[in-house]
Amino acid sequence: MKIVPDTSVIVDGRITKIVQEEEFRGCEIVIPEAVVSELENQANRGRETGFNGLEELKNLQELYNEGIINLIYVGKRPTLEQISLAKGGEIDAMIRDTAQNNEATLITSDKVQTEVAKAQGLEVIYLKQEMVEYKDLEITKYFDESTMSVHLKEDVVPMAKKGTPGNVKLVKIGSRPLSYSKIETMAREIVERAKSDFKSFIEIEREGATVIQFREYRISIARPPFSDGFEITVVRPVAKVSFKDYRLPDKLIERLRERAKGILIAGPPGAGKTTFAQAIAEFYSKDLQSVVKTMESPRDLQVGDEITQYAPLERSMEKTADILLLVRPDYTIYDELRKTRDFRIFADMRLAGVGMIGVVHATKPIDAIQRILGRVELGIIPSIVDTTIFINNGNVAAVYDVSLTVKVPTGMLEADLSRPVIEIRDFDTGNLVHEIYTYGEQTIVMDIGTTTYEKTPVQKIAEREIIKEIKRTVPGARIEVDMKSDKRATVWMDEEHIPRLIGKKGKTIDEVEKRIGISIGVEPFQERTKQLEEKYGIDVELSGNYVILNFGKDNIGTPFDILVNGDYLFTATVGKKGTIKIKKDIELATIILDAIQSGIPIEARLRTE
């Protein structure tokens, strides 16, 4: 019996198993040179499928050397033009010709190849894709319940990130470095299994890089020349969190039910954005009985079967959007927005009436909006995004309401300076925290006040522990704690109790600090009231295009009201360098500079709200 395997069945890695079965024992295997050339071309381009196919040919050669099979290579090598036209069927046609000329049976796992061969009267064996249990993958042995990702690289000890969003540690999960051959074997297995599992996909295959979605695992394979060594990175969600687990206030849930149609889910890497996006997708699909789709590259959201996940169509998200506009879902999750075209696609779909939820990297809540600036027209931003949800440490840390109004921007005094202004308000309190508007040719993002951030869980626990420790030392004392950072706090108490807390030569407070591991500053309540009411002069300087108000690094993150001649001008928060910066070409800066020239005092007052 003669058989001709095509490229698809060799890449699958099943041909060596088949030829050892009773039905095919002693058969003659005819390998077209077109198959070898196609695999060689793929391998030269750094594609895992090419390396897998060549490895399978080596296995066939070993079977031939052992006398188990007969193996011959026939035909001519295809030209470069024919190889470039492989997707159009040129290579497949050469393989069918080989089968016909040698009166052999064609073996393939390609459905189209099967149908064409049958139409030409060839004998064909079609190998359907087999379902393979993903647990059999070698890489799964590195995972336990707390593992978020596994990082494998040649000549490096295996590493893994373990924990939950906001509490992740990189730890060693092996004792010896992995060899190149070990990494290569695992990579080959991953590609083979992805081709034989209906719920797995090769999302991206480029020179030196392959991205595979294997069930819940997102696997990235990198090899030289793209990377400096053979590497496999596997990411998996630690847990699937339901919408109810976030315990959101009824006010926000009502907003999501009734008004929010353009939502940005923002946060730093590893904060839990994707987990929240999954939860909100399930909420819209199941609780609101809405049609929900996703746009992902690669597809790694873990959602129910009723939610269809779309990848780039012909490598283009624009084409995916065209299809979605015909499908007309109620809501679409776009994961992630990175490049200008992503934001423009998001905007086009939202303006077409589709509810959109975008996932975007941001270090602060306002950064989510700022990433849109310059990519779409300023005036239509509130029509595209009406709600931003900032995720930090796996929790909803801040929610913004975005709206458009016409008014005189904060800090400008002339009525004829009225213009369209995007107002960004803290959703919980309704306080105005940012304004965005144009001034001349510039787009201004003005920090109006402070955002109501939730303190981190660590800080909340620390505050309770500090109060508990101090009350043991000074029973009955009135105490308030303000965490300045994870390692520093200010304690406010009545002045009469302070000496007892400090102790002789500071011994008592030192013991408290050692027990809780946090540096404590102690101040009387009377001093706090005085600070809130006190006004003091500030150092003003010019630097480049900015007017700089210097407050010192002790006041980083503290909000101040800025006063000119005793009259309120604006409120701002001291930045990381201990300063507040104002562009020279806006009205606020002009007022401050005119005041300095006229000898009018510029003062600051600690914000009380």
DSSP class of residue 23 equals: G
What CATH number should be reported for the domain holding residue 118? 3.40.50.1010
418, 447, 476 - which closes a domain: 447
248 and 276 share one domain? yes
Instruction: State the average pLDDT over residues 317-335.
Output: 92
DSSP class of residue 110 equals: -
Instruction: State the average pLDDT over residues 29-36.
Output: 90
Dist CA 262 CA 358 (whole Å): 8
Domain assignment present for residue 405? The answer is: yes
Domain assignment present for residue 155? The answer is: yes
Domain assignment present for residue 410? The answer is: yes
Q: How confident is residue 424, by pLDDT bands cut at 50, 70 and 90?
A: very high
Q: Report the share of the chain in percent with pLDDT over 90.
A: 22
3-class secondary-structure state, position 85: coil
394 and 466 share one domain? no
73 and 186 share one domain? no
Which domain does 67 fall in, by range? 2-126
Q: Which residues does 29 contact at the CB level (< 8 Å), separation at least 6? A: 2, 3, 4, 5, 15, 19, 60, 69, 70, 71, 72
283 and 374 share one domain? yes
Say whether pLDDT at 453 is over 50.
Answer: no
> Among residues 85, 99, 94, which one has the least CA distance to residue 34?
94
Structure tokens at 582: 């104002």
Angle of helix 33-44 relative to helix 48-65, nearest 10 degrees? 140
The residue whose two tokens read 């304004």 is 435
Structure tokens at 580: 């507040």
Task: Output the pLDDT for position 294.
Answer: 94
pLDDT digits (tens, 9 = 90+) for 514-525: 888 888 888 887
447, 470, 499 - which closes a domain: 447
3-class secondary-structure state, position 512: helix
Task: Output the pLDDT for position 349.
Answer: 94
Angle of helix 33-44 relative to helix 90-101, nearest 10 degrees? 150
Q: How far apart are the first and last CA of the chain?
A: 87
Question: Residue 13 corresponds to which amino acid?
Answer: G
Say whether pLDDT at 293 is over 90.
Answer: yes
Task: Output the pLDDT for position 245.
Answer: 82
Dist CA 88 CA 51 (whole Å): 22
Three-state SS for 50-105 is HHHHHHHHHHHHHHHHCCCCEEEEECCCCCHHHHHCHHHCHHHHHHHHHHHHCCCE
Contact 417, 587 (CB under 8 A): yes
The pTM for the full model equals 0.57
300 and 431 share one domain? yes
109, 126, 143 - which closes a domain: 126
Dist CA 333 CA 301 (whole Å): 10
168 and 199 share one domain? yes
Task: Output the pLDDT for position 492.
Answer: 84
Dist CA 58 CA 536 (whole Å): 81
Highest averaged pLDDT of the listed ranges 382-391, 455-464, 472-481, 538-547: 382-391
Structure tokens at 34: 């077109």
What CATH number should be reported for the domain holding residue 513? 3.30.300.20
Structure tokens at 553: 């690094």
Q: Which of 247-256, 354-363, 486-495 has the lowest mean pLDDT?
A: 486-495
Backbone angles phi, psi at 37, to 5 degrees: -65, -40
Contact 174, 167 (CB under 8 A): no
Contact 146, 237 (CB under 8 A): no
404 and 519 share one domain? no
Dist CA 555 CA 121 (whole Å): 83
Task: Output the pLDDT for position 355.
Answer: 94
Domain assignment present for residue 506? The answer is: yes
Say whether pLDDT at 185 is over 70.
Answer: yes
CB count in 10 Å sphere of residue 247 = 8
What CATH number should be reported for the domain holding residue 227? 3.30.450.90
3-class secondary-structure state, position 233: strand
The residue whose two tokens read 């006041």 is 555
Residue 522 exposure: Cα atoms within 13 Å on the Cβ side: 22
Domains: count for the chain: 5
355 and 384 share one domain? yes
Say whether pLDDT at 105 is over 70.
Answer: yes
Dist CA 588 CA 227 (whole Å): 50
Structure tokens at 198: 């209906």
Dist CA 259 CA 387 (whole Å): 9
Domain assignment present for residue 36? The answer is: yes
Structure tokens at 48: 């895992």
Structure tokens at 78: 């295809």
Instruction: State the average pLDDT over residues 133-161.
Output: 85
Neighbour-count burial for 37-55, b at 16+ CB within 10 Å, e otherwise: bbbbbbbeebbbbbbbbbb
Mean pLDDT value across the chain: 84
292 and 357 share one domain? yes
Instruction: State the average pLDDT over residues 547-567.
Output: 81
Dist CA 164 CA 440 (whole Å): 46
Domain assignment present for residue 147? The answer is: yes
Domain assignment present for residue 452? The answer is: no
Residue 433 exposure: Cα atoms within 13 Å on the Cβ side: 22
DSSP class of residue 84 equals: H
pLDDT digits (tens, 9 = 90+) for 50-73: 888 888 899 889 988 888 888 999
What CATH number should be reported for the domain holding residue 271? 3.40.50.300
Q: How confident is residue 480, by pLDDT bands cut at 50, 70 and 90?
A: confident
526 and 563 share one domain? no
Dihedral, CA atoms, 50, 51, 56, 58, nearest 10 degrees?
Answer: 120
443 and 476 share one domain? no
Contact 283, 317 (CB under 8 A): no
Dist CA 11 CA 15 (whole Å): 9
3-class secondary-structure state, position 334: strand
Q: How confident is residue 451, by pLDDT bands cut at 50, 70 and 90?
A: very low
Backbone angles phi, psi at 67, to 5 degrees: 80, 15
3-class secondary-structure state, position 345: helix
Task: Output the pLDDT for position 324.
Answer: 92
DSSP class of residue 213 equals: E
Contact 51, 44 (CB under 8 A): no
117 and 163 share one domain? no
3-class secondary-structure state, position 330: coil
3-class secondary-structure state, position 275: helix
| Percent composition of the chain: helix, strand, coil (DSSP 3-state, to 5) | 35, 30, 30
